[in-house]
Amino acid sequence: MPVAGLTITLAADEALASNAITEMSSQHEIVLGRVDGRYMAAVMDTPSPSRSRDLHGWIESLAGVDYLDVVYVGFDPDPPDAPAPQPPISSTLPSP
Amino acid sequence: MSNTIDRRQFLRSSAMAAAIAAVHQRAFGSASALPQPKMTGIVWNKAPCRFCGTGCHVKVGVEAGKIVAIAGDEKAEVNKGLLCVKGYHVGGILYGEDRLTQPLIRRDGKLVPISWDSAITVIAERIAKNPKGFAFYGSGQWTVAEGYVAQKLMKGGLSNNHIEPNARLCMASAVTGFISTYGVDEPAGCYDDLDACDVVITWGNNPAEMHPVLFSRLIDRRSKGEKLQLIDLGTRRTRTTEHADHYIQFNPQSDLAIANCIAQQLIANDTYDKRFVEKFCAFRADPDPASLFGGPISFDDYKKSVAEYTPEYTAKISGVPVAQLKMLGKLFGTRGVKITSLWCMGMNQHTRGTAINRLVHGIHLLSGHWGTPGDAPTSLTGQPSACGTAREVGTLCHALPGGRIVAEKPHRRFCENHWNLPVGRINPKPGYHTITMWDKFCTPTAEGGDIDTLFVQVTNPGQSLPNLHKLYKAKEGLDDKFLVVSEIYPTATTELADLVLPASLWVEKNGIFGNSERRTQQWFKMVEPPGDARDDAWMTIAIARKLYDMGVEGMQDKSGRFLFHLETPDGKPYPVWNWDKYYNDEFNIDRALYEEYRGMTTWKNKDVAPYDELVKSRGLRWPVVQQSDGSWRETRFRFSEFDDPYVEKGKEIQFYHSTSKDDRAQIWFCPYEAPPEMPDETYPFWLCTGRVLEHWHTGTMTMRIPELRDAMPHTYVEMNPKDARELNLANGDIALLKSRRGEIQLPVWFGGRGTPPRGSVFVPFFDETLLINDLTLHDYCPVSKEPDYKKCAISIRKAPPEKAAETTPPPTP
């Protein structure tokens, strides 16, 4: 469902950064892009918001990643497995 | 099927292009020329983000009338292509399943549909019956035009100053701090300071969660190998603390003593900047009672006043070790190092909010850490147009556009002339500020509650006001009170509304916001609002027109024309109240209203840019001044000759709106005073409230975005693990929190994002099913009238099993 464009700030330690790149490249939901200095472009394409969140957390937890920023999110108009949002307040409003 | 595949591939290509552009920007400091992938049917346009006051620009991708993609705008100086977790989901705020789509009126306790014309008539009749009993409550999320028309209707049309934005609850102390120090509101510096400073001090501020893009900008400098020191002054450990070189934990309210202690050391150690102080500063203190401008004192008076705040004395008040206080004193006394102070609600939502704002400006001035890039005291805002609409348009109850105030006759005369109104139309008496306004609305008329009709736009006071039982829930059962709420979704406020109006949101309308760094930002309508939802500015104008048709005198100018008389470029009157004609290709109403307002902005040198310049840019920082070649130049650093065109040649620094009329800024002495409510035997804990990364304010928008709601589904009480153990509370257990004003049950969380010290807890306020503001205090700063959401006394105990069973399940930390 979500498609996210990421910029990943790699650790100053080149060995750690290299390990992080290797680990990320093993995930089929992540496509790695250009690296300029310590910044790497990547795209995360996942089947659900929860998987997207888990993967996001996993990238952030890698020793070779200093920081993760999201710069783009594409919305699928008909997500196959997204739960319908629940209104937080069950109000006295009439049904549409 | 193939369309779906093409589209997904397109989204992946767009995502990679955006990521590469952002990488290029960060690595080389300029936007990449990489072309955006093309796909028929998708149109991209720019807009400022709808959430906080940072003012990030997003690129909005629209296909078939719906937002399908959001990207950070790499051309935007504010965010340079980056967005935070809320920002990249901002498109989803339009598409919650329970959007309000038709006007609804309460009949026999239930909200039932009503036509727009009937709804507008109901409001107009209430106003016409008792114009003095009408109040208007908006927000720092009003666009400039929305705030401007509300302001003009109330002050210019109804001679009624009972209008407030919710910014009273978040930025009012910053406003009074700036005005009493410099004579004019809003920061002198800008975000460029974050790129130039050597040290950042966060004063009760957690930008890692609340202003993540700005924080990322700081952390990014470290990633590039630059040396940047971060000092976190706070009452609890946060995500910002994780990145800090020094964490200085102080007792609630004692930030005043710490600031005075820095001043004491600068003087005692003879390390203050004598040249800067002699040339550019004067001294001031509060008389009793406190006032906005206080009275002048001498340097010797000031020196005597701060003398008692030695590190040893301050350590006893603040709990901060002497060594850390001396470190701060030494830092400010060091020339050559560039210091930027950042703050937001920690300093503003404070019963001594004006005082602590003044003191932080004061230590920057006293030490000369002021006026060059990187040396700046800079307040951050929480709402996208708290500066642009609440402060610059002047929608507070005492204010008029462009820094004017109702109490000053020349200011009123200027506005009356600009609006072509008869002399004397504007009431000189300030209206009710937010707390009084809601108190009067929720008090029976027979007992002095003289506000009987209240119109709320673009905010959710049923959740965000303090002490909700007194200031909001007491409205229930008061049959002669009438609450009108313009909203996008059902909220805690619509629960008690008598009339609900469905509103357009963000890119469903044209708009302009003003961010924390004086940057005015424009966007165009990109998609249609759902159902019968309409613009807030239109609602206000339509009410005014109905009043005009009813013969209410104030709705005419002195030529007999409608208060909101607008003419097309060829001079024809335009029926701006007619929704069918509100948007059209020939006449941009947002532009016309903004240009009318722009003519009021130059008096205090807040010259906002022409609309057409805003269209071309990602925002411009005022004063925006036309150059001899016809171009328009923004100002990054106010009052400094090297950048501010209004500083006279040779002056170096000139505070040209000085309250002492001598181009000097005021260094204030404000003593530490104990808070009005402190923990005691019955209520032994401090309660602090605030936000979390995933949710924005009361969660009306972010709780409709599945990704954000699922990441943080409900609120919690963040505790120190030792306190929790002592109370026999495990992670996830339900705790009963009580204050003198209310009680609530919340799941306990410790070992998570933040750690409060022993005797203190933190509760986020985003959850409308668990209203922490039932407990908060509504005592406020005597000058800014801003209440204190950061400190009150509560008790905590484990909830009885039968009560705990009724509570929302705990979060999964």
What pLDDT is recorded for position B160?
Answer: 98
Does any domain span residue A43?
Answer: yes
What pLDDT is recorded for position B787?
Answer: 97
Gap between the Cα atoms of B788 and B686, Å rounded: 12
What pLDDT is recorded for position B448?
Answer: 97
Q: Are A38 and B11 within 8 A, CB to CB?
A: no
What pLDDT is recorded for position B808?
Answer: 53
Confidence of residue A67 (pLDDT cuts 50, 70, 90): confident
Superfamily of B2-94 according to CATH:
ADC-like domains (2.20.25.90)
Q: Does domain B685-804 have CATH number 2.40.40.20?
A: yes
Q: Point out which residues pair with B63 in neighbouring strands.
A: B42, B66
Does residue B38 have a pLDDT over 80? Answer: no
Range of the domain at A59: 3-74
Confidence of residue B806 (pLDDT cuts 50, 70, 90): low
Q: What is the rounded average pLDDT of the residues B790-801?
A: 94
Gap between the Cα atoms of B205 and B238, Å rounded: 9
Say which of B89, B699, B711 has its CB closest to residue A73: B89
What pLDDT is recorded for position B385?
Answer: 96
Does residue B5 have a pLDDT over 80? Answer: no
From B260's Cα to the closest Cα of chain A, the distance in A is 36
- Chain A stretch 60-79, residues whose beta carbon is closer than 8 A to a beta carbon of chain B: 66-67, 69-77
Asked whether A92 and B111 are in contact (CB, 8 A), the reply is: yes
Task: Identify the active-site residue in B383, B457, B556, B666.
Answer: B383
Does any domain span residue A92?
Answer: no
**CB neighbourhood size of B270 (10 A):** 8
From A12's Cα to the closest Cα of chain B, the distance in A is 7
What pLDDT is recorded for position A34?
Answer: 87
User: Tens digit of pLDDT for each residue in B185-217?
Assistant: 999 999 999 999 999 999 999 999 999 999 989
Confidence of residue A52 (pLDDT cuts 50, 70, 90): confident
Angle at B119 between CA B432 and CA B512, to 5 degrees: 60
Q: What is the rounded average pLDDT of the residues B555-577?
A: 95
**CB neighbourhood size of B310 (10 A):** 17
Q: Would you tell me which CATH number, out of the four given (1.10.3480.10, 3.10.20.30, 3.90.1200.10, 3.40.50.740), belongs to the domain B115-161+393-515+536-581?
A: 3.40.50.740
Q: Are A3 and B711 within 8 A, CB to CB?
A: no
Percent of residues in chain B assigned helix, strand, coil, to nearest 5: 35, 20, 45
Which letter does DSSP use for residue B34 in this model?
A: P
Gap between the Cα atoms of B14 and A73, Å rounded: 9
Confidence of residue B774 (pLDDT cuts 50, 70, 90): very high
Of the residues A9, A72, A75, A81, the best mutation for testing chain B's interface (the one with the most B CB atoms within 10 Å of its CB) is A72
Which letter does DSSP use for residue B528 in this model?
A: P
Does residue A90 have a pLDDT over 70? Answer: no
What pLDDT is recorded for position B10?
Answer: 76
Confidence of residue B108 (pLDDT cuts 50, 70, 90): very high
DSSP string of A45-79?
A: E-SSHHHHHHHHHHHHHSTTEEEEEEEEEEPPSS-
Does any domain span residue A69?
Answer: yes
Does any domain span residue A14?
Answer: yes
Does residue B181 have a pLDDT over 60? Answer: yes
Task: Identify the active-site residue in B197, B345, B387, B703.
Answer: B345
Q: Are A36 and B96 within 8 A, CB to CB?
A: no
Does any domain span residue A37?
Answer: yes
User: Tens digit of pLDDT for each residue in B443-499?
Assistant: 999 999 999 999 999 999 999 999 999 999 999 999 999 999 999 999 999 999 999
H or E element, residue B229:
strand B229-234
Q: What is the rounded average pLDDT of the residues B58-80?
A: 92
Does residue B1 have a pLDDT over 70? Answer: no
Q: Are A88 and B768 within 8 A, CB to CB?
A: yes
Picking from B735, B727, B801, B805, the residue whose alpha carbon sits closest to that of residue B772 is B735
Side-chain-facing half-sphere of B766: CA atoms under 13 Å: 23
**CB neighbourhood size of B690 (10 A):** 25
Does residue A95 have a pLDDT over 50? Answer: no
Helices (H) and strands (E) in chain B — how many of each?
25, 33
Asked whether B258 and B328 are in contact (CB, 8 A), the reply is: yes
A9 vs B562: which has the higher pLDDT: B562
Exposure class string for B369-388: b at 16+ Cβ within 10 A, else e: bbbbbbbbbbbbbbbbbbbb
Picking from B561, B570, B501, the residue whose alpha carbon sits closest to that of residue B537 is B501
Asked whether B403 and B656 are in contact (CB, 8 A), the reply is: no
- Chain A stretch 41-60, residues whose beta carbon is closer than 8 A to a beta carbon of chain B: 41-43, 45, 49-50, 52-53
What pLDDT is recorded for position B636?
Answer: 97
User: Tens digit of pLDDT for each residue in B722-745?
Assistant: 999 999 999 999 999 999 999 999
Confidence of residue B755 (pLDDT cuts 50, 70, 90): very high
A39 touches chain B (CB under 8 A): yes
The yes-or-no answer on residue B382 being catalytic is yes
Exposure class string for B607-641: b at 16+ Cβ within 10 A, else e: bbbbbebbeebbbbbbbbbeeeeeebebbbbbbbb
* Average pLDDT, rounded, for chain A: 77
Gap between the Cα atoms of B434 and B25, Å rounded: 43
Task: Identify the active-site residue in B154, B170, B415, B701.
Answer: B170
Backbone angles phi, psi at B747, to 5 degrees: -70, 145
Q: What is the rounded average pLDDT of the residues B245-274?
A: 98
Q: Are B18 and A71 within 8 A, CB to CB?
A: yes
What pLDDT is recorded for position B18?
Answer: 81
Picking from B581, B597, B764, B796, the residue whose alpha carbon sits closest to that of residue B688 is B764
Picking from B755, B754, B762, B767, the residue whose alpha carbon sits closest to that of residue B796 is B762
User: Tens digit of pLDDT for each residue in B322-368?
Assistant: 999 999 999 999 999 999 999 999 999 999 999 999 999 999 999 99
Chain A residues in contact with B18 (beta carbon < 8 A): 5, 71-72
Number of separate domains in chain A: 1
User: Tens digit of pLDDT for each residue in B375-388?
Assistant: 999 999 999 999 99
Instruction: Report the sign of the C-alpha dihedral through residues B610, B616, B622, B627, in that order.
Output: negative
- What CATH number should be reported for the domain whose range is B172-380? 3.40.228.10
Gap between the Cα atoms of B511 and B798, Å rounded: 48
Q: Are B768 and A89 within 8 A, CB to CB?
A: yes
Task: Identify the active-site residue in B61, B87, B157, B382.
Answer: B382
Does any domain span residue A82?
Answer: no
User: Tens digit of pLDDT for each residue in B593-638?
Assistant: 999 999 999 999 999 999 999 999 999 999 999 999 999 999 999 9
Of A85-94, B674-683, B794-803, highest mean pLDDT = B674-683
Does residue A77 have a pLDDT over 90? Answer: no
Picking from B265, B214, B247, the residue whose alpha carbon sits closest to that of residue B52 is B214
What pLDDT is recorded for position A76?
Answer: 58
Confidence of residue B579 (pLDDT cuts 50, 70, 90): very high
Backbone angles phi, psi at B591, to 5 degrees: -65, -45
What pLDDT is recorded for position B186?
Answer: 94
Does residue B693 have a pLDDT over 90? Answer: no
What pLDDT is recorded for position B13?
Answer: 82
* Average pLDDT, rounded, for chain B: 94
Does any domain span residue A86?
Answer: no
Gap between the Cα atoms of B581 and B568, Å rounded: 12
B65 — alpha (psi -120 to 50), left (phi > 0) or beta?
left
H or E element, residue B196:
helix B192-196
The yes-or-no answer on residue B253 being catalytic is no
Q: What is the rounded average pLDDT of the residues B28-53?
A: 75
Does residue B509 have a pLDDT over 90? Answer: yes
B335 — alpha (psi -120 to 50), left (phi > 0) or beta?
beta
What pLDDT is recorded for position A66?
Answer: 87
Which letter does DSSP use for residue B351 in this model?
A: T
Strand pairing category for B566-567 and B66-72? unpaired
Does residue A83 have a pLDDT over 80? Answer: no
The yes-or-no answer on residue B790 being catalytic is no
Read off the tokens for B283.
């001294």
CB pairs under 8 A between A and B: 176
Q: Are A2 and B706 within 8 A, CB to CB?
A: no
Asked whether A54 and B707 are in contact (CB, 8 A), the reply is: no
Q: What is the rounded average pLDDT of the residues B63-83?
A: 91
Does any domain span residue A79?
Answer: no
The yes-or-no answer on residue B345 being catalytic is yes
Say which of B216, B492, B706 has its CB closest to residue A85: B706
From B233's Cα to the closest Cα of chain A, the distance in A is 23
Chain A residues in contact with B768 (beta carbon < 8 A): 88-89
Gap between the Cα atoms of B19 and B28, Å rounded: 14
Read off the tokens for B116.
């727009």
B450 — alpha (psi -120 to 50), left (phi > 0) or beta?
alpha
Burial class (CB in 10 A: 0-12, 13-18, 19+), A94: exposed
Task: Identify the active-site residue in B86, B155, B473, B791.
Answer: B86
From B484's Cα to the closest Cα of chain A, the distance in A is 15
From B698's Cα to the closest Cα of chain A, the distance in A is 11
- The alpha-helical segments, DSSP class H, found in B584-647 are 589-598, 611-616
Task: Identify the active-site residue in B52, B56, B154, B171.
Answer: B171
Of the residues B11, B94, B114, B765, the best mutation for testing chain A's interface (the one with the most A CB atoms within 10 Å of its CB) is B11
Q: What is the rounded average pLDDT of the residues B94-109?
A: 96
In this prediction, what percent of chain B has a pLDDT beyond 70?
Answer: 96
What pLDDT is recorded for position B658?
Answer: 97
Confidence of residue B809 (pLDDT cuts 50, 70, 90): very low
Domain boundary assignment for chain B: 2-94, 115-161+393-515+536-581, 172-380, 685-804
From A42's Cα to the closest Cα of chain B, the distance in A is 6
Q: What is the rounded average pLDDT of the residues B97-122?
A: 97
CATH of the domain at A48: 3.30.70.920
What pLDDT is recorded for position B37?
Answer: 54
In this prediction, what percent of chain B has a pLDDT beyond 90?
Answer: 86
Confidence of residue A88 (pLDDT cuts 50, 70, 90): very low
